[in-house]
Amino acid sequence: AQSVTQPDIHITVSEGASLELRCNYSYGATPYLFWYVQSPGQGLQLLLKYFSGDTLVQGIKGFEAEFKRSQSSFNLRKPSVHWSDAAEYFCAVGAFSGGFKTIFGAGTRLFVKA
Amino acid sequence: ETGVTQTPRHLVMGMTNKKSLKCEQHLGHNAMYWYKQSAKKPLELMFVYSLEERVENNSVPSRFSPECPNSSHLFLHLHTLQPEDSALYLCASSPTPGVNTEAFFGQGTRLTVV
């Protein structure tokens, strides 16, 4: 069965430090992968997506993610975190299994300390 | 402004009440979705509509009744809800209902069932 695992429920980083949020997926075919961000009281906003081609994907707000098929991972990175990046981050996989499904991970809450 | 508007933003209702959530998208998309976001649980897809036709119903209890009168509007009618139905209900739209398409989310309706 398809699934998405985000191992870290929450992460705290200092402003200016680098960030990596982990995501592992389970899917038999080539996945369509997404990272979304949700600020408090808001809906989800797409940061980036991977469908095919270059395995390093650039997104908005300085984020990037790397698809590693051998590890079934799609980790999100940012070289220098800003206080405004504090939010919840969701990894998702688009899959077709008896119908269209987008499966979301449980999310990782990012806290940024000054 | 994401182009997807949900009303109301907050709703408190008793278990015997009947209420409706409204979603409107101004993006010209053909697919619309209802998601349920509960604390500490992954985002759950409830319903998918494509060109006003329901194409996905993920075993949602009948006390939730969706309606899509046209491609721009989506409703979720609620009746005889339970306290465990308290959650953030998110509406989303996408150009098509495919697995490789980005979803645009509204800000959600925070529902509390008392």
pLDDT at A99: 66
Instruction: Tell me, yes or no, if B106 comes closer than 8 A to chain A by beta carbon.
Output: yes
Residue B2 has pLDDT above 60, yes or no: no
Select from A38, A42, A44 the residue whose CB has the most chain B CBs within 10 Å, as the one to mutate to test that interface. Answer: A44
Q: For residue B81, what is the DSSP state? A: -
pLDDT at B42: 84
Name the minimum distance, in Å, from the CA of B38 to any CA of chain A: 10
Spans of chain A, pLDDT less than 70: 97-100
pLDDT at A98: 63
Higher-pLDDT residue of B53, B64: B64
Residues B99, A90: C-beta atoms closer than 8 Å? no
Torsion of the alpha carbons at A114, A92, B91 and B30, rounded to the nearest 10: 130
Task: Supply A60's token pair.
Answer: 């908005």
pLDDT at A21: 98
Average of per-residue pLDDT across B43-56: 85
Chain B residue numbers touching A100 (CB-CB < 8 A) = 48, 55-56, 97-99
Instruction: Tell me, yes or no, if B98 comes closer than 8 A to chain A by beta carbon.
Output: yes
